Structure 1
């Protein structure tokens, strides 16, 4: 697996052999033209991996000192800053698996996510059929306070940075924005780890009420980043007092209207035990602003703010679906919408109402290219969504909420889905197994009707009982046990058979197939 991903090629300190300069020098004597073409590609991307100040300083020295450093500073166009904490279990470079994972970058960097390391590639490799992780960035937070001085120095010395990606625990704080703006005004910035922007709006006295760890001013997210026309991607964290509190997207509106160039936004929760009266007052002011100015939302968006957004990831509970329904009007150019597992707070006594609200919200957005949703429950809900987005969809992920809740598609449903989604290139769905019976085989054949499909992930539910249970059930029925074992046996032979059935009915450009068994 590559340490970093970049559509134009990548290079990291670890990727470079000590003899690389010698090889390049010899290469230049063979063909100066090829050498001149190779160097800008090899040194295009600067990746810094660190877990403390010592490792940060060493990483910066590795790309700034000596002849290799001169080449990095001259030809480096993309700067990837990847910092974690020792609490993550990374005490040395050998123990670190630092990479800008494709799911964290390709969706926002690639014009055609279906073509390379994009929309569905993460699910082609993950082993858990019931997703527990966010799509773009990892869960969790810490109060890691980095001294950015070495990175600021690197930014000043670089000749021409075009893009800076921050994937670091903790806030991208004061100082970095001004250095980037001064030395590389056209540099695109992606901040991929959730930033607690709320603290940045509080004065020092109010912040002191938050209790330890109390973020001081130099370690706060620099709110000036929102003013950058080239702020491309941003992840924000909304502070919640406990896991039952649900934030509202409208609370972020006063911040986001100041981000004129923002293209990709993720909103995630940050659990911080309270109460915090100062934050509560700030939230009340935000809500009052929303209630007072909601008729002007569209007017603000047409000024070039939220109307520029292309990707929205909701990795938090939705408190008020009606408010989100109104917010949908602010994103006329949205192309990618992701609902994470935590976006739905499942209350079994009112689950149908929440699902209907989710479907209504998805339908309120303009025709989307990429959609990821959890627990649609029924085929009818899927059809309602496809009625709005089917012709524009290029990627669709339908994730099961658990082993029971997912649309039970049959051959008829899949044929209609293929007809209604003619441009679909990437698909993740679930199929209920029946020991390879005729009905099951016909479902695989129906998948061949997707004429543009390139990548397919199938979740194979191996519990074929009409009403399976959500916990292990002891049974003396040997026929049931036999079926469960047969259905759960997923190997190369079964996968090849499914591939042949799909290909027998079309799917001319299907390249990747993943089958994942799930059930109790």
Structure 2
């Protein structure tokens, strides 16, 4: 291979770019020629990770003073296994929003989708010292910088803005962390006061491609102060393509509209932004975004918007009106979260919300949160099913509504007939996310997996496995014990179960197009803390990937094992169990004796699905401890 022309080597490197550090990193060490061929790909992206000014200075110094970059990390190790880190954690690599991505379910394959694990994943932090000079110096010395992603929880600093415009005027700027463009300086933190006005200049600068900004509301009991004076200013930036707006709580500061109007008067009229994606991110019960969306149409062209992420709260008819404007929309991410529950009850979908989804032109990708009835889904697919390439039904946690435990999660209970009907309505579907309620591997559950195999073009599948078994009719401890036992059985997942579900699906798929299957158990949050911990500890998430070697079994990888390392726990140990009551300890001991965390029990074949023999015969096991 050494005699190959450099052009051929470049083509080889581009071909294996999907897994650069698994293949390209060792290849780069074989010779100088291969290093020259692989370096543009290996070091195409530089991630500067720091916690304070000392670590920032050290990172920049090592990069500038080193004669050659050999490798950013030891390619034989995982990137989060760094000896100089006091606390190890999951590597946080994803900061984009679903609506701003060019893919649909790709980020779901390896991301942590379980809210129970989110507290253990580090979030982006505020840089208290704000000494940006090392980073400014680094940017000034780079020969070519085409894109800068700012993911620090700070106001974007003017010093970075200045060096970027001076040395890399064509650089694309993505500000992913929320920027406070409020101007009520007495309430702002001291560190932000002198920058509020400058920040408007930065947010309107050329090169701004992505920005996240806060949408403020006034104090409780007074009318909301919309960002009417700020949004038009930001949307004057022609290069802006992705806008993310966040709602703040009632304690947020007030926008001074007069200053916004004053600033607008100083700005020369120009081309408005042509947004590609628009996302409304908010805590529960912030909005109403339907009104904001419609108002934005008065100062920015939304006719070419391709992707929208929004929650419907109060007036779906406004979204219907917006649908007539969003004529180019291809991707809709929609949360159905009505503030008022209609007379039909909590288990019914809002008819106006269903009609709002139907009002859009046929979509290519549809992501629904909070949908409850399979009948509603089928009605929506009459309009969109034939054009869909991707469909996601996300189980929606209604914790903020203090719902009954039996209705904690909103999602349609689909059976095999429903899935078969879906495959007929969506013949071109390639990516699918579905919630499925586990039923101990019984025939009705296996039939659902068989039905999923009827999607001929499906290549990416994410299944949220509902493991909780709850009823409002549990009248005794025995009833509760039996219910919780079923939950533990459904929650316990292992590699054999993951392979079994894969085998069932692909056995019915004539095209054998399935490439990726992600399994994500959910439902632990239904129970109290100690019981939730027990369910969480036995719930394991897996990614099954088709083996590139024909005839070989699929590759199975557990997702989220870094959290176990972070917590210092081994399989079979339940967090906080030393504080449990004696009865709770009996529950854990009973489960560990009968359903090991690795599920090494003898495997039986039940309708083609591999599940532990003990799970099939659990009713013959010793009674659940009282």
Scaled by the length of structure 1, the TM-score of the pair is 0.70
Please show how residues 304-319 of structure 1 align to structure 2 within 5 Å. Answer: 306-314=302-310, 318=313
Match of 1:434 in 2: 439
1:257 aligned to 2:235?
Answer: yes
3-state SS of 2:441 partner: coil
> Deviation per CA, 1:234-278, whole angstroms, max 9, x where unpaired?
22222346799989797874245323333333222333725x455
Match of 1:510 in 2: 514
Q: Closer, same or farther in 2 for the Cα pair 1:272/1:62, shift >3 Å?
A: farther
Q: Closer, same or farther in 2 for the Cα pair 1:517/1:97, shift >3 Å?
A: closer
Match of 2:608 in 1: none
Match of 1:344 in 2: 337
1:236 aligned to 2:201?
Answer: no
Q: CA RMSD in A?
A: 4.7
3-state SS of 1:509 partner: coil
3-state SS of 1:385 partner: helix
Q: Closer, same or farther in 2 for the Cα pair 1:345/1:293, shift >3 Å?
A: closer
1:440 and 1:68 map into 2 onto residues whose CA distance is: 56
Q: Closer, same or farther in 2 for the Cα pair 1:449/1:270, shift >3 Å?
A: same
* 8 A contact 1:127–1:516 mirrored in 2: yes
2:326 and 2:351 map into 1 onto residues whose CA distance is: 21
* 8 A contact 1:195–1:221 mirrored in 2: no
1:319 and 1:180 map into 2 onto residues whose CA distance is: 43
How far did residue 354 of structure 1 move? 7.9
* 8 A contact 1:9–1:42 mirrored in 2: no
* 8 A contact 1:173–1:221 mirrored in 2: no
How far did residue 451 of structure 1 move? 1.6
Q: Closer, same or farther in 2 for the Cα pair 1:356/1:157, shift >3 Å?
A: farther
* 8 A contact 1:248–1:318 mirrored in 2: no
3-state SS of 2:154 partner: coil
> Deviation per CA, 1:481-503, whole angstroms, max 9, x where unpaired?
66555444433343333222212
* 8 A contact 1:301–1:307 mirrored in 2: no
1:494 aligned to 2:487?
Answer: no
Match of 1:376 in 2: 371
Aligned residues: 455
Match of 2:154 in 1: 170
The structure 1 residue matched to 2:178, chosen from 194, 198, 201, is: 194
* 8 A contact 1:328–1:364 mirrored in 2: yes
* 8 A contact 1:445–1:501 mirrored in 2: yes
How far did residue 52 of structure 1 move? 1.7
Q: Closer, same or farther in 2 for the Cα pair 1:504/1:98, shift >3 Å?
A: closer
1:207 and 1:398 map into 2 onto residues whose CA distance is: 43
Match of 1:56 in 2: 56
> Deviation per CA, 1:201-249, whole angstroms, max 9, x where unpaired?
x3xxx422x2544622337773344445543322222234679998979
2:228 and 2:255 map into 1 onto residues whose CA distance is: 18
1:413 aligned to 2:397?
Answer: no
> Deviation per CA, 1:338-362, whole angstroms, max 9, x where unpaired?
346xx83655567689844543444
> Deviation per CA, 1:450-504, whole angstroms, max 9, x where unpaired?
1222222223334567xx34x9874434875665554444333433332222122
Q: Closer, same or farther in 2 for the Cα pair 1:10/1:363, shift >3 Å?
A: farther
The structure 2 residue matched to 1:101, chosen from 93, 110, 122, is: 93
1:161 and 1:365 map into 2 onto residues whose CA distance is: 39
* 8 A contact 1:308–1:331 mirrored in 2: yes
Moved more, 210-219 or 418-427: 210-219
1:7 and 1:310 map into 2 onto residues whose CA distance is: 28
3-state SS of 1:258 partner: coil
2:154 and 2:245 map into 1 onto residues whose CA distance is: 16
> Deviation per CA, 1:429-453, whole angstroms, max 9, x where unpaired?
1223334333322211110011222
2:235 and 2:35 map into 1 onto residues whose CA distance is: 46
1:216 aligned to 2:209?
Answer: no
1:185 aligned to 2:169?
Answer: yes
> Deviation per CA, 1:356-378, whole angstroms, max 9, x where unpaired?
45434444444443333221011
Match of 1:3 in 2: none
1:281 and 1:103 map into 2 onto residues whose CA distance is: 34
2:389 and 2:396 map into 1 onto residues whose CA distance is: 23
3-state SS of 2:67 partner: helix
How far did residue 335 of structure 1 move? 3.6
> Deviation per CA, 1:96-146, whole angstroms, max 9, x where unpaired?
65855246379746x4455xxx242245x5444x8979xxx9979868573
Match of 2:453 in 1: 448
How far did residue 44 of structure 1 move? 2.1
Unaligned runs of 5+ in 2: 1-15, 72-83, 265-286, 398-407, 527-626
2:226 and 2:376 map into 1 onto residues whose CA distance is: 24
Unaligned runs of 5+ in 1: 1-5, 73-91
Q: Closer, same or farther in 2 for the Cα pair 1:404/1:212, shift >3 Å?
A: closer
Q: Closer, same or farther in 2 for the Cα pair 1:366/1:243, shift >3 Å?
A: farther
3-state SS of 1:416 partner: helix
Please show how residues 2-41 of structure 1 align to structure 2 within 5 Å. Answer: 27-28=31-32, 31=33, 34-41=34-41
1:260 and 1:476 map into 2 onto residues whose CA distance is: 65
Match of 2:478 in 1: 476
1:392 aligned to 2:376?
Answer: no
Match of 2:144 in 1: 160
